[in-house]
Amino acid sequence: MMTICEVILPGRIRYQPAWDWQNVLADERGRDLAPDRLLLLEHPPTYTLGTSGHDENLLLTPDQLAAQGIEVLKVDRGGDITYHGPGQLVGYPIIQLPRVSETLRADVIGYVRKIEQVIMRTVADYGISSKPIPGLTGVWVDTLNGEAKICAIGVRVNVRAVTKHGFALNLNTDLRYFDGIIPCGIADKGVTSLSALLGAPVDETEAIRRLIAHFGAVFEREMIVSYLQPNF
């Protein structure tokens, strides 16, 4: 029998409450009080700096941020600065990674590679070829202007080998928000979205359905949609 993974679809949530909720769910999973879960949601415009974040990669002043209604948070995922916002499919897997024993760490790199596979299979459904780039996180596509990131990935794995944070796949994202940062601290590569590559808006409900199916296949989970909602 395959391991169950509950899929939670809460809609649009501000970043801080969603982060707090992840911590609650990760604690429940680590104490075997809940199954694996996959949160799929959307944030209002937000820049987050990970544990490798550099303030100089945020290019907007506080006044400019306020005028555009963009929040800025420093968070405990890996990586530098990225953008979250409407039209972007954000995924937070809260899953228990296997360990050989209590003294050995989980295979975090292998976990990230699986997330990349989920994303690459999802965009392939739309006829888009994508790839990882050695030494860089995320999923990339070749464009007329060079390599561009279509999905950012930044994770954290706690002491109980439970995952937090995850990925941000650009579906119908307004890419102009990326002009306010140096995305992931990488100045010589661009950012793109599925709609930009296809030249038309993407049905986000259909994209979610496809991603859930690929997540289940790659992680060998039985995906069950849950109606659990945050209590904030």
Residue 135 counted as domain residue:
yes
Give me the pLDDT at residue 184, please: 84
In total, how many domains does the chain have? 1
The secondary structure of residue 69, as a DSSP letter, is: T
215 CA to centre of own chain: 13
Active-site residue numbers? 184
Residue 80 counted as domain residue:
yes
Residue 185 counted as domain residue:
yes
- pTM of structure: 0.95
Residue 69 counted as domain residue:
yes
DSSP per-residue string spanning 207-225 = HHHHHHHHHHHHHTEEEEE
Query: What single-letter amino acid sits at 157?
Result: V
Distance CA 15, CA 71 (A): 9
Residue 56 counted as domain residue:
yes
**CATH, residue 21:** 3.30.930.10
Please state, as a whole number, how many other Cβ atoms lie within 10 Å of the Cβ of residue 108: 15
Residue 106 counted as domain residue:
yes
Give me the pLDDT at residue 228, please: 78
Give me the pLDDT at residue 100, please: 65
Residue 231 counted as domain residue:
no
Burial of 144 (0-12, 13-18, 19+ CB in 10 A): exposed
Low-confidence residues in the chain, pLDDT < 50: none
| Structural domain span for residue 74 | 3-226
Give me the pLDDT at residue 103, please: 57
Residue 232 counted as domain residue:
no
> String of b and e for 156-167 (b: at least 16 CB within 10 Å)?
bbeebbbbbbbb
Query: What single-letter amino acid sits at 15?
Result: Y
Burial of 134 (0-12, 13-18, 19+ CB in 10 A): exposed
Structure tokens at 98: 């296997």
